[in-house]
Structure formats: C-alpha cells, structure tokens
Amino acid sequence: MKHVLLMTNELATVSAVTAALEANGQLDPRDVCRNLAELTARLERGGYPAALVDIDEQPRPILAALESLAKRFTSTRFAVLSGSQNRDLLLLVMRSGVRDFVEKRAIADDLAGVLKRLCPPTDATQKGTLVTVLSAGGGCGATTFAVNLADELARLPAPPPPAPPSLIVDLDYCYGAVSSYLSLDGEYGLLDLLNRTDPIDAQLIRSTAISTGHQVHALLGTARERLGDAVAMDEQRIGEALEACKSAYRWTVVDAPRLPGPIAAEVVRHSDITFVMLQLTIKDLRVARQMLANLSLHVPGAPVQLLVGRYCGRRQLISLDEAREALGISAADALAYLHNDYDTVSKAVNFGKPLAEVAKHSNLRRDVQKLAATLVETCHPLESPARPPAEVALV
C-alpha cells in the first residue's frame, strides 16, 4: 500500500498507528497532519489511498469538514480514530461519508484490517453473482431459504485464494427477517446508505455489513428501532447498491419480501437469477402468477425460477402439476421445491444459526445444498466440483 495520511496531535496515537502499519501500509513523518488545513493541503497533492483522522478534539466540526473532504477527494478513503464509541457518534460518522471507525485502544488489533477493507487489491472488472429471493406470500420460507443459501454458497469449494464470505442482504424494512433469524442488530444498514448523497461502492458495502459469526456477512435493512418506518426508495440507488454488492462479494443473496413493484423489478434487473417462492395454496399461486406477469413485462428475459416452499409431497391439496397449470407454465418447465421441515427450521431460528450448524443432515438442508451446487454449475461452471451433488429436486 502507498503512504497514508494521519491527522492527530497525540504522540501516542502517532506511535500506535506507525506500529500497526508495519504489516499494511506506511506512515511517513511528513504525512502526519496537525489540523484540517494541513490535511487538506496534503490531499491536494494526491496519491493517498487512505486518511486516518483523530476526531477527539472536536468531533462534530471535524466530521462536518470530513463530509466535504470525502466528496472532494473521492479517491481517498477516510477512517476516523476516537478514544470512545457511542451510538450518536457512530451515526454522525456514518453520515459524514467516512468509511470506518477505529477506537484508539484497538488500533494495534484493528487498523491493519480496516486499511485492507478500505483499499483492497481488487479487479474492477470482476463481478460476483447476485441471487434474489422474492416471496409470493408470508410463511413460505423465503428468509429461511435466503439465509441458508448464502451460508451453503460460502461453504462450497472455491478457487484459490480463499473466497471471501458471501453476503445476505435484508430488504425487509418492515420486520427485518434476516436480522431476526440470525439474532443480529446494527446501528445502520442499507437504508442508511441509500439516504446518503455520496456514491455507494464495494468498500462501503464491506464496511457496513456485519459478520454473522461464520462465513456469511449480513447487510441489514436498517437499525432495529427504525424497522417499520415509512421508506421511500430510489430505484437508481437500489441498483447502485446492488452493483456494489456484486463488486464486494463473490455471492450475494437478497431477501426481498414485500417490495413495491418498481423496486422489485429493479432488484431483479440487477440479479443473475431470481427465485419466486410460494406455497401450494390458491392465494400464493394467484400472487405468483401476477408477479411473473409483472416481471415479464418490466424485466423481459430475466432468469426467474419458481420455488415451492414447505412441500409435503402427496399430502399437498394442490399437486405440482395443478400448480403448473394455475401458473400458466408448461410441463417441461422446472418447478423446484424445498421439503417441509418445521421442527428443523424452528430449531435453527431459535439458535440464530444456519441449518448446517444445527441440522446438517436434515432433508431441508440437503435441498438447499443441491440448489447451491446447481447455482455454481450454472453461474461458475469452471468452479463446479469434479463430482457434483445429485440434482436438485426439479419436477
């Protein structure tokens, strides 16, 4: 990494940053600024991928100034250093255009990782795969499928170097189903990014997503206390955010229930494949048929796969053939399904963990595994295992 800038008046902070950068980056003594005027002058020279700013002296005025600097010097990523962390300060940082936050006591442990996220060596032409899960009705298992699909995709073999975690995006602004499933909470999420005026890029997505404790990161909709608030989403900003997700992660799975038609169409437009989940009920069949018609009208040619959730085989009042007829699709069209496994799903939700950790031999987990393997074969055929799992249940 090239030289980074540091703004601080504390010798202890200079020493801590210098020691932390031995593994990633360099701090030249001439690149230590005492105030915002010096920082601005150094930025005008260019060539600095990252700037670390100590905000302890005057948090609000410094963050207000950083908001202007972040818009002016778009090639530099800003991170702040502070001796304390609280919710109000984090929100101010988020809104200022700053990309990350490091407590001074954690500089030795966290700073190198923060800089790697700020300025990762990426191939700008390389894009990941985005999978969207839409729901034709509540209770069909869409969130369960989305969470576990992201988990299984992260567990599949990948070419070296080791693939980064997959990403699950929660577009449920009413209930935050993904955050509830995985017992997660955060100060901000995708809604906060959409409300910013600054560009949304891969690094911003990485720094906003939170770890679930295993090989999946989660981009929440918003903080728990703001769930259910009236949300006005810009279609273009949604598309910008999804493209940033594809740049940041090899696999992105979007849980997208209850979206307005135009927003759903925009999400599908940026997706490599979209699953429309439903149960074999008259209501879900009617809604699914309408959804297919709308997508066909607004996003013609988009890859869409119908997926029956909570399938009970012969105990279903409506058969798969009858569902095909009701949906207006031919007998040759695949109709995938996931077995009903209420007890297993309840156990996973209660523990806040994916099926692979609480019921790895369950039929439902095997169904999701097979669908994940099928996606790899379809989207990344050169990365498919030599002996792929058996075909997913398609009838």
Domain boundaries, the chain: 5-118, 129-383
C-alpha 340/C-alpha 308 separation (Å) is: 10
214 strand-pairing partners: none
* pTM for this entry: 0.70
pLDDT digits (tens, 9 = 90+) for 134-151: 999 988 999 999 999 999
Compute how many other C-beta atoms are within 10 angstroms of the C-beta atom of residue 236.
10
Most confident of 69-73, 172-176, 184-188, 269-273: 269-273
The candidate with the shortest Cα–Cα distance to 95, out of 60, 53, 146, is 60
Burial class (CB in 10 A: 0-12, 13-18, 19+), 20: buried
**To 10 degrees, what angle do helices 107-118 and 11-20 make?**
60
pLDDT digits (tens, 9 = 90+) for 344-379: 888 888 888 899 999 989 999 999 999 999 998 888
Sheet bearing 251-255, strands edge to edge: 210-211, 216-219, 166-170, 251-255, 129-135, 273-278, 304-311, 336-339
Q: Which two tokens stand for residue 228?
A: 């259910």
pLDDT digits (tens, 9 = 90+) for 223-275: 776 666 656 677 778 999 999 999 999 999 999 988 888 889 999 999 999 99
What is residue 394's DSSP assignment?
A: B
> Would you tell me which CATH number, out of the four given (3.90.930.12, 3.40.30.10, 3.40.50.300, 1.10.645.10), belongs to the domain 129-383?
3.40.50.300
Enter the CATH code of domain 5-118: 3.40.50.2300
